Amino acid sequence: MIQPQLSFDGDPNGQAYERWREQFCRQVADVDFVPIGEGRVHRTISPAILPRLRLSASFGTPMSFVSLGTNDELVITMSPNSALSGAMGRRPLEVAAGDVTIGDPSIKGAQITQTTHGNFQTALLPRKALLRACPNAEDLIAQSIPGANPITAMFLRYYDLAHTYADKLAPAELDAVSQHLFDLSVLMIGARGDVAEQARMRGLAAARLETLKSDILAQLDNPALSLTVLSAAHRISPRTIQLMFEQAGITYSGFVLEQRLLRAERLLRNPNLRTRKIIEIAHLAGFHDVSYFHRAFRRRFGRTPDDVRKLSGEMG
């Protein structure tokens, strides 16, 4: 079976574009891609299939995405750097860059236009599952959901993480990420009652933990990194941070140590850093007790830092 071509770069007036438009856009994506303006068309598309929803992130020249009316899902749509316009049936759609909207691909001819060169991102969710959680979801079709809302900002950040790492996760991990993203979706759209509470507990906790992890990774070499510093920056107690990590099956200190050791191992294998002393590598990875670094490194990797550097040099 010939796999469909996901991306296109070329003249929109030739056979190559029409072939891509038919074989991928219409037959696979259930959407017609209509170029806006004159000149060359460029569109790169990167899909990610999760258990509860399907993600698609694309980038390129201005384009109208026109539904063929054959898909009964609902679609969360956004662009961080282009305004969106169009219509969902009789509902006009005008969304600023960075904001979010809901589309209804079951409406034949419904369209969303990416008005300038940039990104176009979607998350397709099963209509029935979404309406069970958010009975009002269809009322928000073609409406603008501000990207500056805290829950929307968390959804957007978690969307990017899920899309980036979907193909690197084990099935159980992917299932959990999918559930968290779905939970953030229903909170953003406006779930109520017990459904909202369950989604809040799962989705917000997962998104907040990812934010903490990102902050930690950005500060690994900082000797002042501590629970106290993180709790002040994120406005939650040190014990809450510990509990969030424990609920994910790890400890705060264990996560920090593992990430510092992994960074040290990468630095030791870096040929551009072979002239740096081991103590310097330890400091770059956030270890300021060199004796402890040597013990922890050998316990984790079964080799000393010197051994890893020598082996890396021999292989290089």
Here the CATH number for the domain that contains residue 151 is 2.60.120.10
Domain count along the chain: 2
pLDDT at residue 79 greater than cutoff 80: yes
Counting residues of the chain whose pLDDT is more than 90, the rounded percentage is 49
Same domain, 205 and 250: no
Together in a domain, 81 and 39: yes
Q: Which domain holds residue 97?
A: 8-218
pLDDT digits (tens, 9 = 90+) for 230-251: 988 888 888 888 888 887 788 9
Residue with token string 């940039």:
118
| 160 occurs within a structural domain | yes
Are residues 263 and 137 located together in one domain of the fold?
no
CB-neighbour burial class of residue 7 (10 A; exposed 0-12, middle 13-18, buried 19+): middle
Range with the lowest mean pLDDT among 177-181, 192-196, 282-286? 192-196
Residues 102 and 190 in one domain: yes
Note whether residue 3 is domain-resident: no
Choose one of 200, 218, 236: the last residue of a domain.
218
What pLDDT, on a 0 to 100 scale, did the predictor assign at position 3? Answer: 47
On whether both 75 and 194 belong to a single domain, the answer is yes
Look at residue 13 and tell me if it is in a domain.
Answer: yes
pLDDT band at 110 (very low <50, low <70, confident <90, very high): very high
Give residue 28's pLDDT: 77
235 shares a domain with 184? no
Q: What is the CATH number of the domain that holds 262?
A: 1.10.10.60
Pick the last residue of a domain from 218, 240, 270.
218
Closest to 286 in 3D by CA, of 308, 264, 301? 264
Residues 16 and 118 both lie in one domain: yes
pLDDT digits (tens, 9 = 90+) for 294-312: 999 999 999 999 998 888 7
Strand (E) or helix (H) holding 112: strand 111-114
- How high is the pLDDT of residue 193? 46
Where a domain ends, among 183, 218, 253? 218
Residue 26 lies in a domain: yes
Q: Give the integer Cα–Cα distance in Å for 209 and 241.
A: 8
- Residue 1 in domain: no
pLDDT of 204: 66
Q: Are residues 200 and 251 in the same domain?
A: no
Q: How confident is the model at residue 5 (pLDDT cuts 50, 70, 90)?
A: low
| Per-residue model confidence (pLDDT) at position 127 | 92
Q: How far apart are CA 149 and CA 296, in angstroms?
A: 42
Cα–Cα distance between 224 and 242 in angstroms, integer? 18
